[in-house]
Amino acid sequence: MRKASIVVFTLLFLFSLPAATYSRGWVYLGEAHVDGAADHDRIKVGKSDGRFNALQLKVDFAPIEFHHIVVHYHNGADEEVQVRQRIRAGAATRDIDLRGHDRIIDSVEIWYERANFGSKRPRVRLYGR
């Protein structure tokens, strides 16, 4: 009886976790859509989402050609990272390690473009770890 209770409690706990997290400790931070040939968007993260030492960009619906990102930290510092990677729909960038340790991110600016002009508008989702 006790074993069954533990199993039920564990399952309830796992199913109660937000859908915004996924394996390996990644936390969903926000998303944007590529509207034109070349685009630039800012995803507001905010202090309440915590401290992160790595980012990852996941692509949906259509491929995206990433150029670079700029991470804006809560302390006023900025970090530019060259991504220079074409990511197909359903895939993600490499883990983007950030300088320093567990810094609070205010926002992330992304420079990118559609890799092709199909009927679907690409979406990028930002994750932090």
1-10 pLDDT, tens per residue? Answer: 666 555 445 4
pLDDT greater than 80 at residue 15: no
Find the largest Cα–Cα distance for the chain.
60
pLDDT greater than 90 at residue 86: yes
Report the Cα 48 to chain-centroid distance in Å. 16
CA-only gyration radius of the chain, Å? 17
> 89 with 119: CB under 8 angstroms?
no
Residue 115: C-alpha distances to residues 77, 88, 122 (Å): 31, 8, 9
Choose among 45, 2, 39: nearest CA to 20: 45
Answer whether 0.85 is exceeded by the pTM.
no
Angle at 106 between CA 101 and CA 112, to 5 degrees: 100
Q: Round the average pLDDT of the chain to a whole number and report it.
A: 84
For the chain, where are the E strands, in sequence order?
21-22, 26-33, 38-44, 51-52, 54-60, 64-73, 78-87, 96-97, 103-114, 123-128
Confidence of residue 12 (pLDDT cuts 50, 70, 90): very low
Encode pLDDT of 43-72 as tens digits: 999 777 778 999 999 999 999 999 999 999
Average pLDDT over residues 11-31: 62
Q: How far apart are CA 53 and CA 55, in angstroms?
A: 7
The answer to which of 19-28, 32-41, 71-80 has the lowest mean pLDDT is: 19-28
